[in-house]
Structures are given as C-alpha cells and as structure tokens.
Structure 1
Amino acid sequence: MHFPDNLFAITLILSGFVTIGMSLAILRRISKAVRCFGYVMLSIGIWAVTYGFELSSDTISQMLFWTDFEYLGVAGAPTLWIIFVINFTGREQWLTPRIYFLLLIEPVVTLLLVWTNNWHHLHYATARADISGPFPLLAFTPGIWYKIHTVYFYSMLGWGMYMIIDRFRKADEFIKKQNRIILFGAFIPWLVNVTYLLNLRPFGHLDLTPFAFIASSLIIAVGLLGFKLFDVVPIARGKIVDALQEGVLVLDAQSRVVDLNPQMRKILPYNGNVIGATTALLFPELIELNNTVHNQENSRIEITLNDGRIFSVTLTSLFERQTIYSGKIMVFRDITERKQNEKKLEELNKLKDRLFSIISHDLRSPLLSLMDILSMASGGMVTDEEFKSYLPTLTKNIGYTSGLVENLLQWSKSQLEGTVINAVHFDIKDNVTYLINNFSQTANDKGVSLNSNIHVPVMVYADMDMVQGVLRNLISNAIKFCRAGDKITVDACIKKNMATVWISDTGVGIAAENLEKLFGNYNFTTRGTTNEQGTGLGLLLCKDFIEKNGGTIWVESNQGQGSSFYFTLPLDPES
C-alpha cells in the first residue's frame, strides 16, 4: 500500500472523513430520528474511507484487508437506513427487540462471511488484483451470499422509499419538502449501484456506489444542519392527538361525542360509555358550558369541576363547505395550578404591601425619634435631666423595634426557598418555663399575673426554635393586651397523636369582626392597653411556623373578657 495518489481514493478518503465528522455532529441531536440518520452517515463514512484505502492498495492481500473493514459500513448501511426511515415516519412502535434482532441477522452474517471468506468463498467466489488500469483494482466473482446481500440491500432501500412516499404523499408542503430531499438523496446511490451491477464501471471494476452514498448523505445532512430539515419530524395525526396534555373532545352537530383522546378520558367525571353521549350528560352541572356548545360561534370559557379542577375550554366550530355546521372540537386545558398561583400571587402582593407599611412606618418612626433625641442631646439642646426623662420612652421604643426586627428576620428566613425544618423531640413544659421567667419582669411591671399550668412533660416533635418563637410572640401579645390585675395562663394537653398548647388571658379581648384578620395578609394591628405598638407580623409568623411543623393555630375571644390562642403540634414524625 502507498500514500493515496489517485483522485478517486483521495476524494473518497477526504469526503469520508467529512461524512464521519458530520455524523458525529448529528449524533448529538436530541431527536431519535435525526440520531438514526447520524448512524447511517457514520456507516457510509466508514465505507468511503476504507474503500479509499482499498483503492490505494497494490496487492490483493492489502485490498482484502481493507475490504474487511469496509464491510463494517457496507453490511450495516441498509439496516441502519431502514431503522432511520421507521423512526422518521412515526412507526417506531414497530422496533421491538424481536424486530431489532431480525434486522441485525443479515448484516452480522454478511460481516462474518466476509471476514471468513477464505474458508468457504460464499461471498467472493474468486478475488484478484486487476492491474490493467491506471491503478490496481479488486476484481472478484460474486458468491451466493454476495447476491443475497445485494437483494437485501435493495429490498431495504426500496422498502424505506416506499414508506416515505406512502406516509407523506398527502402531507403538508413543508413535510413534502422533507420527503423530496430524502427520496432524492436515497435515489442517487440506487441508480449508481444499478450501473455497477450491470458492469457499467469505470476501469472495469471501480465501484461508484460509495461516491453516490457520500453525495446523498451530504445532501440530506446539509438540509438537516443548514436548512433545519429535521427540526420538524412528521408524526401521525393519531399520535399527536393522543400525546396531547390537553383533553380533546369532538362533537357532532347534535352535540354528541364522536371522538376523544386518552387525556380527555382522565378529565371526564362520567364513567359510562362516552361515545354518543351529549355534553349535558357528561357535565350536567355546567350550565354555561352546555349553553355555549349549542352556540355555533367559536368561544372560550372557564369551568370548575366538582373535584376542584379548573379548565380553560376552547370551542371551535366545524363547517362543511364553510356553511353547513357539522360539530365542534373542544380542547380542555387544565389551569388549576395557574389559578392557584394567581391566588398565591394576590396574597403575596397583600403581604408585600403589609411589609412595606411595617418597614416604612413602624420600623422607621422609632428609629427617627431615637435619632432626633440623640442628635439634640449631642448638640446640647436638652439637659441631662430632660434626656433622662426620655430614657423610658427610648427604652420602650428600642425594645419594640428590636422585637420587630427579630420577627422580620425570622419570617424572612422562614420564607427562603429550601428552608429546613430541624424537627426534634423536646418538652414544651421546659420551653414555657424558660419564657415565663424571661417575661415575668415585663408582666410584673404591668401588674399582670403570668403562670404555667403545665406540670408534666409534654413531648412534641417539631423545630424547637420555631415553637419557641411562637410561644414568645403569643405570651408577649397576651401581656400587651392585659390590664393591671389580669391573668395569663399557659396550658397544654395531649389528644390522640397531637399536643394542644394554649395561652389564655383575661385581657381586653378581640372584636368579632377582627378575628379573621389576625392570621391573614391584611395590614391589621392595634395598640396595647398601655399604648404599646404592634404590627400583626408576629401572628403571621406564628401561623407560618406552626403550619410548617404540621400543626394548626386558631383563636377564641370575647371582647372585654379575654382571648385564648391555641396551636397543635405532632407527638412524633408519623403523626
């Protein structure tokens, strides 16, 4: 063998490597049909490169050596072609493991017989090097298996072309463009190979088939990569409708069901025979939908089923010859999640307004007051005695602001995506005892009695820091709305697999019209019995923490008689 020095070999080797490179690029595509064509191109590229080296060989042993590698592409090309066509025409359900096995029998047998031809001569009956031309060529007498492989080769090529023509002869113009390019590309090697079989060969033995395959694969590949030929792969109408995530219901002129897709069967609440049923039978409670069905105009409405699912229904009227009404197509699109998200967004907007109000007023005002007093003190505008007289108010404002900031930080942390609930078993009694000790001075200053009736351990399974934050807010609120002489009691009990904890007071209570505002996203707050400020953010935080830990929170109150805030927590992870 020598370095390629004839135009045919050089052309095949270079174009073969280009084809292999393009096939590797195509194999990275997502579409299965496109990747199948990439394997076809890879086999053709291998065929071209190895045949180019065969044309550069000087002896029969070198030629047969490269022929063995050449058949890695030759033997696999027809099978890979038919697999590509089956996928491209939307018939991939044919390709069961059994069919794959049957399709692989011929190429595997061909490859084995070529590699072992010296023992049986079933593929090449004879083979020699013809040196009568401008460069040595392989001259052979075909054996019985060579003829069988030729028949198989043409059968696969013809079968593939027939499937393309049959599937797309009534297709859209864009699909017909795909059809023409693929058929043109497949016809070139077929025509050229026929001339080879009829002994119409340059120099008596030169096979132009790989040149033709290179040309055809490059034509299709240019369409694929340059003109996005396979960006839209045709799929059968039934497959499209069946694969839709929307429900499709087809009605006749009498509003009877004549067709539907599998998704629509999941949507329908009706368990009987759907075909032939009217919409009034399928959706008896949806009066607006049934009235719209009888209207021949196109329309869109929203419906809510009994199970809470919400659908946007598009109704498109069908007409024969543009004048005779023949029925309707109804497309049901599930918008339940979208509606839920819209509701959540509305609630978040209310919450946003509330937080901005808190930050702009309740947080800003005490800080400005503190800054003004400190500024006057540093400028000598107030005496030491006057400054000392402001200290109780400053201390009160700073305490309020500190609590507010803590609540804001806790709430913000709880809203972060991916917040982890560090649930552990702990005793509520110990937490209550600790907090009562912390708040005892504040309660005593107001003349309020603060006690716990929890005398035995109450073990719960929750995030201890969150629960402590809830207890801190509820006890602080109870003190805030109590008068001198009022009492606050913390108690707990266990019912079934849940612990119920409550903080009761004999304070001023809550008006009935304000009860529903306490845990909502409303900007609602009232001042305490000694004019203590509040934002309502603490209760929002309590609700969020309790629900994140698998419990519920609620309030019972009578104005002028006091309030009781209850919340529940699970006793163990399975509760």
Structure 2
Amino acid sequence: MVQLTPTFVLIVGAVLAAGSVAALAWRQRPEPGAVSLAALMLAAAWWSATHLGTLLSGTLAGTLFWARLQWFGSVALPVLWIVFALEYTGRDQYVRAPIVAGLSVLPALTIALLWTNGSHGLVRETATLVEHNGYLVLESVWGPWFFLAVGYAYLLAAVGSLLFAQLAVGSSFLYRSQAAALLVGAALPWLSHLVYLSGLTPWAGLDLMAASFSGSGAVLLFALSRGKLLEANPSASRLASEFVVGGIDDGVVVVDSRGFVVDLNPAARGMLDAGTTDVVGRPASDVVPGYDPGDPPAGSDSEVTIEDEETTRYVDVRVSILKDYHDRVVGRAVVLRDVTERRRHRQRLSVLHRILRHNLRNEMTVVRGHAVGIADDHRDHASAIEESATRVMDLSDKAAQIERMAEGSDEDPPAISLDSTIANTVESLRSEYPRTTFVVGELPAVACGSPAGTAIHNLVENAAEHNTDDEPTVTVEAAVEGEAVRISVTDNGPGIPPVEREVLEAGGETPLRHGSGIGLWLVSWTVELLGGTIEFAENDPTGSVVTLRLPVLGRDGADPGTRE
C-alpha cells in the first residue's frame, strides 16, 4: 500500500515539475539550449520516477531492476547539463557529435558495467533492503567504478556551473538573474546527492536527489515564465562579441531572435543617450532608430536622422544576421555609424561645386563680355571688370576659409573674445561700406570658439552688402543665455531671399534651386562646427534678423560697452 509520506509527495512533485519544465522548454525550439534543457529535465523526471519504482517494488530483485533503470537518468544528467550550458552561453561550437560522443563514453561504460555488475562487482559490491516509513529502500556498498562515475559527473556539473557563474558575473541584470536561477536549480539536487553520499542522511538508503528535483523544477518554471529564460538568450550577445568592442567608434546593438536588445557597446550608449539598464530587455524597434522589427536581410542598411534640442546627427544603420555554429539565426547585430561629418563634408563639396560652376562661370562671362568692348569705353568696362574680378576673388577667399575650417574640424578651436571680435569686425566694415550705419549694442565679455569670428564677419558683411535701403542700417546685439551667447544681426534691407533660406534649411542645392553666394553657407557651417544654432526671421517693416546661439567657452571679465 502506498504511504503518502512527505518524501513520497516530494518525489511525485519532482516528476511533475521536471516534466513541466521539459514541456515548456521543448515549446521554445529552436532557441539555443531549448532542446538540451528539455532533455535534461526529462532525465531528471526519469530519475525521480524510477526512484518511485524502487520504493514501490517491495523485493530486492525488483528494487535493483528499478535502480538500474534510474542510472540511465543519472549518467545522462551531467552530460546534458554541460551541453545545455555550452549552448545557452553561446559556446555551441563545442556541441558537436564527436565531442558529445566523447563526453558520453564513460557514462555508456557505466551503464554496461551496471547491467553486468553480477560478474565483477565494480559498480555495486553489495545491496540490501532496509525499512523506512513503511518503504523498503536499497542500501548499497559501492564499488570503485561507482566513485569514478560520480567524480566524472561532478566534474561535468562543475564545468557547466562555472559557465553559468561567469555569465552571472559578467553580464547584464537580465542574464545575471537567469544564471542565478539555473545555478540554484542545479545546486539543490547535487547538494542533496552529496548528503546522500556522505551518509549524513537520517534515513538509510534514501536518495534525497530524487526529491530535490521538485525544488529545481519550481525554480526553473519561474525562470521560464517570468525570467525570460530561453526567450532573451545570451548566446546572441556572446556570438556578437567581435562586434561589441568597447574601443570602436561605431555603436553596436545586439538584438536576439525575438527582437529584444541584449547588449550594446559604449559608443551605442552615447548615440542613444541611454544606459545599458535603460535599453537591455526592451524591443529594439523602440530604442534603435531605423531598426525594422521585421526580417531585414543580411547587410541591409539605411540612414536615419537623430535630433535633440541642440544637434542633428545622421547615422548609418546596418543590420547583420547572427547565426550560431549550427547555422541557426540567434539574433542580429545593429551597427550604428555616425556619418554626420561625412554627410556635411559631402554637402560642402556639392555646394562648392555648384557655386564654383555656376557663379564663377557667370562672373567670368561678364569679364569676357566687357573685355571685348573695352576698346570702345575703357573706363566703364575696366570698372565692371574690376568689380566682377573682386567678386570672384571674394568667392575664392570664402572657399579657402571653408577648406581650412573643414581640415581643422576635428580639433578644438581656440577661444576668442566676443566683444573685441564684434568691435573689430564692425570697424573694418565701416570703411568698406561708408553709407551704412552700424549700431552695436551692449556686448558681454565672454569667449567663444575662434570660428565665431568668421561667422560674425560674413553675417554683418552680408547684411551691409545687400542692403538697398536709402539709409542702410545694420545692428549687432549679443546677450548671454545660460551656457550660450545669443548674437543677433538685424538690417533694414530687402531681407534674405526665400530661395537662400530654403537651400540652407534643405541642407543642399539642386540643379534648379541654388543660392547666389557662399557667405550664408559659411555662416551655417561655422555654427554647426561650434555646436550652435542659427535662426532666420523677418525685420519690421523690412529686412531680416539672423540670430546665432553659440556655446560660451569662458568669461574674460571685461566690462561690456556700447559702441556705435
């Protein structure tokens, strides 16, 4: 008659729990480790179920028969444990038929010796039945091969546990919790077995390991249902280790087969402006710009724009498929390359090309036309030639400034005094444009990057040069706003033509739409280089207002003054 003792109930619970884990793991195929975990838990269920057979047999022959069957599960457990550990942690290159067969040689010999034990006694020297709580349990005196088999099993269990311990120490919180659950689930039966081997168990011959699988099953059931065990798999992170290198400039985000972020390198954290804990475990489509949650082909790429309150960056997004050593797709590596400077450089070259081809050709056409007629009216034509040549030289000078600025864009620009720079700029332009009235408001005594001088000069010069009012006036004002300085240039001329503003805002010129000069482009690129912003507005009743906001590098302590 079956005695419903706590031990019996625990063993029945172990069979049910281990079987449930095996079924849930099997449903997660083809996730790495799913099949091996299912086989591992089936072996655990087999161990517990056959131990029930030993308890219910009632005879020595029957108990020995069930005990021999139990060994199929006991020798399979350590091999399946290390196979699962290798697959789950992304080392499945070692899970090959020759290696698994090699690991299984000693367990297979153990089974063979067990079933022929009567002729040599290498596994079990003697066996007797003793009574415990109404059950007859097997008490054995073990032979030398038993201890060799047990030592080998503990060696495999230790190696697999070390792999999970390494995962627990060196991974994100998501994987640490998974590894901890696996280590706890494995520790319960192995510690119970150690108690059994030590003879410290209060019940002679009772194998506590069969009952301990109920605890292991409960832990793994929780890990599967709530801890995303097998769903968010660390193998994708390990297989992309050659991508996730801390020192590279490109950002790399590793996505598992279900579309969740599992790892990212420091460059990616900087581009996404987020920490690892803010991103790992979230859907990649929510945190990675330009990532397609569908099934992008290997090598697919796109360019996306990342905007924040201060800057606009252009990022090339490239998706690579990650496969394990058995050609199974386990995730994707999303490489984020900041192409802002490359795009700006290409934009500058494109604009320069069009300006040089269009403006210089037009100007030189004027030069040629007047040169033909210079014999008829030397003074007028000579004057026109001189003016046109001056404009050509001005274009050349501005192009040279852009070239120098591009060459030095990777270096931190030295600081200049803003108030002195504006004062010197206005003073130099007074003689060049004597009809224009220049008004300079209060100027703060702060320092900005040296390219700011180029932007201010071109902005004020443009406002004076194109001012057709009867009484042309250009006003320059500046004020500190937090960590930036606002510089406004206001004129009462005809205003900046819409086409000029459109090409600047569009970021490039087209064959049918282009600006007439390079000055505003130079201003725009200089502001970008300094990490500032530029805004255009209309003045009332006529003219325009151009506002620059540039970072302040320091304060030089000079008293602001008013100059006119």
TM-score (norm 1): 0.43
TM-score (norm 2): 0.43
Higher relative contact order (CA 8 A, sep 6+): 2
Which entry has the higher C-alpha Rg, 1 or 2?
1
